[in-house]
C-alpha cells in the first residue's frame, strides 16, 4: 500500500470508512458516494473509474491492518489541506445521512473522523447542521 494517496483518494477513503462503520455498506450509502464523486466540485476532473479501486483499497486497509482506521486518517491528513479535510468531513456526513438517519455506529465514526482529520468542533457542528437542513423532509 502506498504511503501517499491523492486528495481524491483520501476523501473517498474517509467516505468508505463512514459507510463501513456499521460493518455493512448500505446501498444508499454506496449510491451517495457515487453521487458525491459525480457532483461535488472537489471531484471535478476525477476519473470515476478509480472510485471502485479506491474503495477496495480502503476496505483492505481497514480489514487487514492492525491500526487500519488510524492509517486511513494518517493518509488523509497527509493528502489533504485543512480546507480539504473539512470537505472530506462534509462528504462523510453526507454519506452517513444517506439513509435518512445516522445510527450510533455512524455517530461514533464521525467523532473519530473529526478527531482523525483534526476538524475544529465549531466547523464540524456547522457541517452537520447544514447536512441536517439539506436532508429534512416535510
Decide: 114 and 124 in contact? Cβ < 8 Å: yes
Task: Return d(Cα 64, Cα 138) in angstroms, integer.
Answer: 43
Query: What length does the chain have?
Result: 138
Residue linked to cell 457515487: 34
Number of domains forming the structure of the chain: 1
The answer as to whether 93 is a domain residue is yes
CA-to-CA separations, 104 to 63, 64, 107, in angstroms, rounded: 21, 24, 5
Task: Return d(Cα 21, Cα 41) in angstroms, integer.
Answer: 26
Task: Return d(Cα 10, Cα 89) in angstroms, integer.
Answer: 11
The answer as to whether 1 is a domain residue is no
**Tens-digit pLDDT profile for the chain (138 aa)?**
457 899 999 999 999 999 888 666 667 888 999 999 999 999 999 999 999 999 999 999 988 868 999 999 999 999 999 999 999 999 999 999 887 777 788 889 999 999 999 999 999 999 999 988 888 888
Nearest alpha carbon to residue 89 among 79, 76, 103, 102: 76
pTM of the model: 0.91
Say which CATH number the domain at 131 has: 1.10.3680.10
The answer as to whether 131 is a domain residue is yes
Task: Give the pLDDT score at 23.
Answer: 64
The answer as to whether 2 is a domain residue is no
Task: Give the pLDDT score at 133.
Answer: 87
> Which residues span the domain enclosing 75?
7-135
Task: Give the pLDDT score at 27.
Answer: 78
Amino acid at each position: 500500500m502506498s504511503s501517499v494517496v491523492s486528495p481524491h483518494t483520501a476523501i473517498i477513503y474517509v467516505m468508505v470508512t463512514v459507510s463501513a462503520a456499521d460493518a455493512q455498506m448500505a446501498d444508499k450509502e454506496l449510491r451517495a458516494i457515487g453521487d458525491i464523486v459525480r457532483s461535488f466540485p472537489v471531484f471535478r476532473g476525477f476519473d470515476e473509474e478509480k472510485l471502485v479501486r479506491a474503495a477496495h483499497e480502503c476496505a483492505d486497509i481497514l480489514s487487514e491492518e492492525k491500526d487500519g482506521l488510524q492509517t486511513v486518517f494518517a493518509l488523509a491528513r497527509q493528502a489533504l489541506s485543512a480546507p480539504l479535510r473539512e470537505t472530506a468531513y462534509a462528504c462523510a456526513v453526507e454519506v452517513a445521512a444517506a439513509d435518512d438517519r445516522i445510527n450510533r455506529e455512524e455517530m461514533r465514526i464521525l467523532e473519530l473522523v473529526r478527531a482523525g482529520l483534526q476538524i475544529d468542533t465549531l466547523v464540524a457542528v456547522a457541517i452537520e447542521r447544514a447536512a441536517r437542513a439539506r436532508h429534512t423532509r416535510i
